[in-house]
Structure 1
Amino acid sequence: MPFWLYILRCADGSYYTGHTDNLDQRIAQHEAGTFEGYTATRKPLLLVYSQEFSSREEALASEMQVKRWNRLKKEALIRGDFGGLRQAAKKNFKRSPE
């Protein structure tokens, strides 16, 4: 059974990141307002990114990682711009004093 990382763009332009084992059903649940919380008041929603994983643990770990990212990194991932993703990561990197 596949598991999915997904990113939704909300009506207010913000992003929601989650994971699921049934992508179509989960998107329908978000649209229907089944879940109280972030997406319930930010409809309509648009699926802008999804990635398949072989285990729930991998999908959840990826979700937790992406949730910590800034908007630039998320948008680079959504575009499939891995060079831009690296650039966005470098902008947040702070060198420790030697």
Structure 2
Amino acid sequence: MSWFVYLIECRDGSIYTGIARDVEARYAAHANGKGARYTRSRPPRRLLACFAFPDRSSALREEWRIKQLSASQKRALAEHSEPA
């Protein structure tokens, strides 16, 4: 089973980056206030992008790399990805 790195646009315009095996279930958790502390105070607006990786380790490395990017760089990355 693959691991995924996903980008969520929050209602305040910020972008949350996370990893999960089941992105739909994880997004639902964020939307219901059961996800990360960050999205509890900044509810999600939409899923921007999702990237598949063969294992948790590579997904964690990519999550860390993406978290170093600015919000505008994250949006550009999402625009050039496959639809979420």
- Taking only the aligned residue pairs, the percentage that are identical comes to 33
Number of residue pairs the alignment of both structures matches: 81
Q: Distance in 2 between matches of 1:6 and 1:43?
A: 15
In the other structure, the counterpart of 2:27 is 27
TM-score between both structures, scaled by the size of structure 2: 0.89
Cα distance, 1:35 vs. partner? 2.8
Q: Greater strand percent: which structure?
A: 2
Q: Larger Cα Rg: Structure 1 or Structure 2?
A: 1
SS in structure 2 at match of 1:24: helix
CA 1:38 to 1:58, structure 2 compared with 1: closer, same or farther past 3 Å? Answer: same
Distance in 2 (CA, whole Å) between partners of 1:80 and 1:36 is 26
The answer for unaligned runs of 5 or more in structure 2 is none
Query: Residues 18-49 of structure 1: CA distance to partner in whole angstroms, max 9, x if unpaired?
Result: 00111111001101111351101212431001
Structure with the bigger RCO (C-alpha within 8 Å, sep 6+) is: 2
CA RMSD of aligned residues (A): 1.4
Select the structure that is richer in helix.
1
